[in-house]
């Protein structure tokens, strides 16, 4: 998402549209917030490309239990949170942590 201003704008539009009780965000609002958000994330992601494989963690797998909750599941127990925008869909930390998924 941080590599594309279009992805950032789409994410922000969905976030604002889903949390404003049906009030459509204005184009100026999405463009302004999108630019401010995107320009900061882009510079942060440049580092991960320049470092390459050195950015991949080399730590051993932790045996400390770590929990992840999943929100926004269409068929989950909480239909009110169905469109919650900041969902954890597939944890990328699986290789490093002993994950327990709570349902």
Cα separation, 38 vs 5, whole angstroms: 6
Task: Give the tens place of pLDDT for each residue, 10-46.
Answer: 887 887 777 776 678 888 888 888 888 777 766 566 6
Q: What is the pLDDT of residues 69-94, one digit of tens each?
A: 655 555 656 566 556 555 445 555 44
Closest-CA residue to 31 (of 50, 12, 53) = 12
Q: Where are the domains of the chain?
A: 5-55, 57-103
pLDDT at res. 15 = 78
What are residue 33's phi and psi, to 5 degrees? -65, -35
Burial label for 80, CB within 10 Å (0-12, 13-18, 19+), is exposed
């Amino acid at each position: 998402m941080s590599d594309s201003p279009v992805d950032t704008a789409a994410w922000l539009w969905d976030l604002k549209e889903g949390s404003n009780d049906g009030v459509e965000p204005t184009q100026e609002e999405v463009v302004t917030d999108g630019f401010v958000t995107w320009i900061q994330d882009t510079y942060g992601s440049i580092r991960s490309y320049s470092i390459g494989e050195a950015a991949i963690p080399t730590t051993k797998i932790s045996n400390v239990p770590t929990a992840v909750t999943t929100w926004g599941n269409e068929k989950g127990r909480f239909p009110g949170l169905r469109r919650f925008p900041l969902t954890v869909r597939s944890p990328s930390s699986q290789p490093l942590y002993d994950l327990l998924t709570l349902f």
